[in-house]
Chains A and B, each alone.
Chain A
């Protein structure tokens, strides 16, 4: 019961902050969007040169620091790694291509719907389909393997990278690029964005908020827990949009969105499929990386690399629609994921049991710390 209120609170506050961030400068229906913000960071660092999507989003830095702080306080920070890092990189990379065809992560899909953008319904339908598509693989034993405890320093590397990016944001050296026009130029004040990120990061760490996970747990276990967070974000940001007068119901002329239903559906389906195989949506990957999981950190780097690739090679959608190359990339993405999932299922070892007596509790484990 108490858990339920934790996630409802986390969702509600996330929804509220998203509205606030848009009011103070973020692009419409983009108070938070992990995919878009990582994409902007890839541009800010010069990994892609599309002039409209370049900025080091303080929200992401805040999310990581907030989740890191919460994990330290609750003693849940733990350096882990070694469970198929490179496969995770590829899954993250492909998930991002899907999300940039839809134009948003699962979190933004909810925020778009809350703003009246009905195209998001197709995205969410795609997300559900993608998660549903991944579940049979999980049931058949798909597993990226066990993360093992690692030397403590490993977990801090991701935090160090994020702090480095934060220093670049503050110092603004000449090689860091901030858009002068387009979505990348629309931004809430740095302090507000950073603090909003810290709050959502801490709440997401405590509540384990995950949007793909919500759909997955409902299908697998009829468990609504994570979906309460989903619904709380939707309800609060919907009320917020109505209150602010930014609610605009319809399919056409929606902010930073296109109305190609098929590709909205397929893009998000690809992202949902990747997310369920990875064990969580991009938000959850960021939080998990901030808790010391280096595999999730590699996934985040895969997401950023996917964003840079998508923009360098013209795969990402724009309000004008989805380029042919982007459509092809989504189809190739599906093919790659099916091949990967098939071989992982085939190669996987069954779960090993260990005997219960206290003395010999389990396998040998590397216990570096």
Chain B
């Protein structure tokens, strides 16, 4: 079961730190993270691009599921 990191309700930089920690821990693979603000969605997308991870975004109501792969 792929774990989804829950970053809902957190203000930046916390969602970014969660994702960055996962990136550093995994090196490569898949990271799923759930956020509920456009700011967190955009910031994580930017982090993914900067760190050369691919990102796919699925919107579910007011929440966004971000899937990062490398």
Q: Verify B10–A352 contact, CB threshold 8 A.
A: no
Q: Identify which of residues 228-273 in chain A touch chain B, using a CB-to-CB cut-off of 8 Å.
A: none
Which 5 A-B residue pairs are closest in the complex by CB-CB distance? A146-B9, A279-B11, A353-B3, A147-B9, A356-B2
Q: Does A181 belong to the interface (CB within 8 Å)?
A: no
Q: B10 contacts which chain A residues (CB < 8 A)? A: 143, 146-147
Q: Identify which of residues 2-59 in chain B touch chain A, using a CB-to-CB cut-off of 8 Å.
A: 2-14, 16-18, 20, 32, 34, 36-39, 42-43, 46-47, 50
Given A78-B37, A149-B62, A208-B39, 6 more pairs with CB closer than 8 A: A138-B13, A143-B14, A208-B42, A221-B47, A225-B46, A356-B2
Q: List 29 A–B pairs whose Cβ atoms lie within 8 Å, in order of A's numbering.
A: A3-B42, A76-B37, A78-B36, A80-B9, A83-B9, A138-B13, A138-B17, A139-B17, A143-B14, A146-B9, A147-B11, A213-B13, A217-B13, A221-B20, A223-B46, A223-B47, A225-B46, A279-B11, A279-B12, A279-B14, A288-B11, A353-B3, A353-B4, A353-B5, A354-B3, A354-B6, A356-B3, A361-B4, A365-B8
Q: Verify A223–B17 contact, CB threshold 8 A.
A: no
Q: Verify B11–A280 contact, CB threshold 8 A.
A: yes
Most buried by B among A279, A352, A363: A279
Q: A221 contacts which chain B residues (CB < 8 A)? A: 16, 20, 47, 50
CB A362 to nearest CB in B, in angstroms, measures: 6
Please tell me the number of chain B residues within 8 Å of chain A, measured between CB atoms. Answer: 32
- A-to-B contact residues, CB < 8 Å: 3, 74, 76, 78, 80, 83, 138-139, 143-149, 208, 213, 216-217, 220-223, 225, 279-280, 288, 351-357, 361-363, 365
- B-to-A contact residues, CB < 8 Å: 1-14, 16-18, 20, 32, 34, 36-39, 42-43, 46-47, 50, 60, 62-63
Q: Verify B8–A146 contact, CB threshold 8 A.
A: yes
- Checking B5, B12, B36, B60 against A351 with a beta-carbon cut-off of 8 angstroms, the contacting residue is B5
A74 to B47, CA, bound (A): 22
Q: Verify A3–B14 contact, CB threshold 8 A.
A: no
CB B13 to nearest CB in A, in angstroms, measures: 6
Q: A362 contacts which chain B residues (CB < 8 A)? A: 4, 6, 8, 34
Q: B13 contacts which chain A residues (CB < 8 A)? A: 138, 213, 216-217, 220, 279
CB A300 to nearest CB in B, in angstroms, measures: 14
CB A351 to nearest CB in B, in angstroms, measures: 6
